[in-house]
A = this chain, B = another copy of it.
Amino acid sequence: MGMAIADTRVSIAALEGFCFRVLTASGVREPDARTTTAALVTPDSWGVFTHGTKLLRGYARRLRAGGLRVDVSPKIAGQGPGWALIDGQSALGQVTSAFAVEESIRKARQCGVGFVTVRNSCHFGAAGYYAWLASQAGMIGIAMANDMPSVAAPGSKGPVLGSNPIAFACPGGSGDPIMLDMSIATVAGGKVFARCKRGEPIPPGWLVDDQGRPTQDGALYPERASLAPMGGHKGYGIGLFIEILAGVLSGAAVTRQVGSWLFGDFQAPTNHGAAFLAIDVGAIMELEAFYRRIAALVGEIHAAPTAHGAPRLMLPGEIEWRNRRRAEAEGIELPADVVASLSEAAAESAEPFVI
């Protein structure tokens, strides 16, 4: 629709078009550019701007420098009836992850459940996107990845595990899917940066300093502070099992071996790991019955009494679907930091910044 730079409201199609052009200008083949565009614009349409097209600039830099390769495709390095091991060969993490989800769905159609673990990938963006892809195929989907350490363990002085995202999605029949996308940190690092930028103090429980003490000084993060694990040993423990499933079992880099996709050497592969699980609902239960049971659970939660003044309880994903419908009708209101990042991505790719 050709909006000017100052205008931050964009249509989904226009944002997709821009993203696609930057990717192809960076050497990405058209099918891979389409896959990556969908994985980046969809989270923006959900209002998850930390994991949408804001990531494009960093990916494009790595694509041009060679740390992300444009001349390869993810390949199956091993497989059995219900599992596969994918070697991403340093293609875009979005390309490899979408390929892996498809494979997990294919395996689940054969066996009822499909498990796919991935090596030689990169940052994959929004975990929820991949779980949601599986849910679109009638699967309960789970997606997870490891990353370079940024999260403390109980008692540690510094970071021990990555923020190791995990997402779950369940198809909702005529209702919306249920989708949970979370990291193992109490809050994501982006929220620390945002508070600092606004000059606000960091709430207790978010950060641990480099002596292992709780801190509310956001300026220390990330050099001299780590994110606190959600629920203490529980977040740490979940993160460790994500590391095992996505990193150890796949042959990917583990913890400190994982490269920084954003700040590391743009010419070097990061070797992130990931893992995907798909469960074929329709194989286990007649779909109509399953959707009736999901609708009953959703109805029960919506009808649950809430604390004085609180609106009705929400299902995980409910905010995202509301945002998505608004984005389809009215376009996406991109935050300034996303617009600035896209503008730089355009300049660096010698593409006009037209969204």
Report the separation of the CA atoms of residues A290 and B115 in the bound assembly, to the nearest whole angstrom.
17
Shortest CB-to-CB span from A156 to chain B, Å, is 5
Report the separation of the CA atoms of residues A80 and B110 in the bound assembly, to the nearest whole angstrom.
9
Contact check, A186 vs B231: say whether CB atoms are below 8 A apart. Answer: yes
Q: Does A310 contact B (CB under 8 A)?
A: yes
Q: Could you tell me which residues of chain A, from 299 to 355, have a CB within 8 Å of some CB in chain B?
A: 300-301, 304-308, 310-311, 313, 315-316
Query: If the complex has contacts A284-B249, A304-B158, are A293 and B254 also in contact, measured as CB distance less than 8 A?
Result: yes
Contact check, A112 vs B112: say whether CB atoms are below 8 A apart. Answer: no
Q: Does A6 contact B (CB under 8 A)?
A: no
* Most chain B C-beta atoms within 10 Å of own C-beta, residue among A108, A186, A212, A234: A234
Query: If the complex has contacts A180-B238, A249-B140, are A244 and B300 also in contact, measured as CB distance less than 8 A?
Result: no
Q: Given A82-B111, A111-B111, 8 other A-B contacts at CB below 8 A?
A: A81-B112, A112-B115, A113-B277, A170-B244, A236-B316, A248-B290, A248-B297, A277-B277
A residues near B, CB below 8 A?
Answer: 78, 80-83, 85, 108, 110-115, 117, 140, 153-158, 160, 168, 170, 178, 180, 182, 186, 211-213, 230-231, 233-238, 240-241, 243-245, 248-249, 251, 254-256, 277, 279-281, 283-285, 289-290, 293-294, 296-297, 300-301, 304-308, 310-311, 313, 315-316
